[in-house]
Amino acid sequence: MKKLFIYYSNSGNGEVVARYLEKQGFDVRKVETKYKLSRHMFFAMMKGGFHALVGKKAKLINYNNDVSEYDVIYIGSPIWNSRLTPPINTVLKNTDLNNKKLTFVFYSGGGTSKKASKKVNRLYNNPTIINLKQPKKYSDELKKLGEENE
């Protein structure tokens, strides 16, 4: 069974998840985008938080939306303002994920991912949702992924 992890990461937590899943046999597609946040936390929060709130879709660079050869797809997104990120909003819009075994991996600062979960539950039929708290800092969090794959 072919497995794919599609993810976005702004500050490296998504990378840690990608490396972990790669070791478990996943192919990995990182979403590249020109969309960037300021390095100043205040401005990053204002822009990212607002765009997450309004469900903005960021432009992607060379995104390959052909997932036909995969049965199992994991989608990774940071949590911004309890919601999905603009690049992942675009991925969901542009990728046919019907009839796939879908898991969402959300990495957050430890806060709630309620709004993101609500959205993916609305869009898809009973996806699995795994919440990780800063996996870059707390590597134990990655075990939550292992349990899903063993």
Ligand X SMILES: Cc1cc2nc3c(=O)[nH]c(=O)nc-3n(C[C@H](O)[C@H](O)[C@H](O)COP(=O)(O)O)c2cc1C
Quick one: tokens of 27? Answer: 């192919």
Least CB distance to ligand X at residue 133 (A): 8
Selected from 48, 86, 87, 127, the binder of ligand X by CB under 6 A is: 48
Quick one: tokens of 20? Answer: 């972990």
Cβ-based nearer residue to ligand X, 13 or 90 = 13
Query: Which region among 23-31, 42-50, 64-72, 86-94 touches ligand X (by CB under 6 A)?
Result: 42-50
Selected from 89, 90, 103, 108, the binder of ligand X by CB under 6 A is: 108
Q: CB pairs under 8 A, 24+ apart, for 131-134?
A: 131/106, 132/13, 132/17, 132/105, 132/106, 132/107, 132/108, 133/107, 133/108, 133/109, 134/13, 134/107, 134/108, 134/109, 134/110
Measured between alpha carbons, how far is 39 from 102 in angstroms, rounded to an integer? 32
Determine if 89 is a binding residue for ligand X (CB under 6 A). Answer: no
Cβ-based nearer residue to ligand X, 11 or 96 = 11
Strand pairing partners for 83? Answer: 80
Determine if 90 is a binding residue for ligand X (CB under 6 A). Answer: no
Using CB under 6 A, list all residues that contact ligand X: 9-14, 37, 44-45, 48-49, 78-82, 107-111, 134
